[in-house]
Amino acid sequence: MHVEHFQLAKELKVEKIDLLLLQLANHAIKEFGHRYGSFLDAASTAAKFAIYISFLENGRNFRKTGVAHHVEPKRVREIVKEIEHAIRENTSLKGLSSKEPDYLIGIPHLWKEKYPWKPGTSRISGRSLDSLEEKQLTLHIPKHFPKVLLIDEGELNSLIEEMRLLSADNNSSKNSNTCSEALLEHIRYRLRHSETIVQVTLPFMELPLYALASNSYAPKGQCERLENMVDDTTRFIFLLKQWVQEEAYAFRALETLTLSPSIREQAFQELDEMLRQWGDKYHCDGGEPIILQMALGKCDEDIL
């Protein structure tokens, strides 16, 4: 079941900047598979960052910054300390991209490293197979699966723990050497949901095993387009900021029209061609690098 979150947001009288936040949360949590708590951490980091920028702009005055944003000066001091520590130590702040699905992405690689499989040998970690078992197993494992061993839940959990530690190491964050059963379950869910791994029940094994089903982790669905979407939006805001500041090279356009389905294809092709021709015509070496970003789609009058 797919829920149209824009409609629900409308019912809840959400508007403007909140709608943007909702969209971000929705993408981060539901589509990319970041943990709920990790989104909250990232939002908190973003807010701290804004306070820090303001602190710099206010001549490093704790009290003035506090009054400007209704934060206790003591808290401003903590925020400044935390961010300057990150700058000094060259570590990253608690954000989304610096944490997950980083360790999800690492799982297939670590699996291949620790449990490689050579055809002709047993496909199950720590167990030999007779020829009947071998055949039964083959029925469960599609040919395109990566050439690695099947492992049990304990081994999968160890892989996850190890990957978490590696990933935490890189971010030199503390307190990350505990991995609760709930977190393990969540990570196994994400790996299964994204079809990175599959659970395999074999007639001759008491407990189900796990097989690596893909060479890399990617959130389910239109993942490439989703990533593009985040990049595009970041870029779009960056461009609009130039327009807000009335910079010379900033340009913004908004067009509405109604389009008949029969000429849609033609209209889009012409638009595409038109933009390319315009780009070719005005491009000149040694000029200012310019970027143009456009999106077009159905217009929901209630929302847009």
Least Å distance, CB 15 to a second copy, is 5
| Rounded CA separation 156/99 (Å) | 20
Does residue number 20 form part of the binding site for a second copy (CB under 8 A)? Answer: yes
Binding residue count for a second copy, defined by CB under 8 A = 143
- Let me know: does 90 contact 37? Beta carbons within 8 Å: no
Least Å distance, CB 82 to a second copy, is 11
| Rounded CA separation 66/59 (Å) | 13
CB nearer a second copy, residue 142 or residue 279: 279
Q: Which of 62, 17, 61, 68 is nearest to 43 (CA)?
A: 17
What's the residue count for the chain? 304
Does residue number 24 form part of the binding site for a second copy (CB under 8 A)? Answer: yes
Stretch of 46-54, 104-112, 132-140, 145-153 lying at the interface with a second copy (CB under 8 A): 46-54
Does residue number 181 form part of the binding site for a second copy (CB under 8 A)? Answer: no
- DSSP for residue 199: E
- Whole-angstrom CA distances from 116 to 128, 151, 211 are 15, 11, 12
Site for a second copy in 211-240 (CB under 8 A): 222, 225-240
- Let me know: does 94 contact 42? Beta carbons within 8 Å: yes
CB nearer a second copy, residue 166 or residue 267: 267
Does residue number 9 form part of the binding site for a second copy (CB under 8 A)? Answer: yes
Least Å distance, CB 126 to a second copy, is 28
Least Å distance, CB 153 to a second copy, is 15
Among 138, 169, 220, 274, binds a second copy (CB under 8 A): 274
Task: End-to-end CA distance of the chain: give it in Å, rounded.
Answer: 24
Paired tokens of 7 = 């409609």
Does residue number 5 form part of the binding site for a second copy (CB under 8 A)? Answer: yes
- Whole-angstrom CA distances from 300 to 81, 102, 106 are 45, 36, 40
Site for a second copy in 88-127 (CB under 8 A): 92-93, 95-98
Q: Which of 220, 214, 168 is nearest to 33 (CA)?
A: 220
Does residue number 68 form part of the binding site for a second copy (CB under 8 A)? Answer: yes
Least Å distance, CB 52 to a second copy, is 8
DSSP string, 154-192: HHHHHHHHHHHHHHHHHTT-SS-S---HHHHHHHHHHHH
Does residue number 200 form part of the binding site for a second copy (CB under 8 A)? Answer: no
CB nearer a second copy, residue 103 or residue 115: 103
Among 118, 143, 174, 252, binds a second copy (CB under 8 A): 252
Among 178, 207, 282, 302, binds a second copy (CB under 8 A): 282
Least Å distance, CB 122 to a second copy, is 32
Does residue number 51 form part of the binding site for a second copy (CB under 8 A)? Answer: yes
Least Å distance, CB 191 to a second copy, is 12
Buried b (16+ CB within 10 A) or exposed e, 5-25: ebeebeeeebeeeeeeebebb
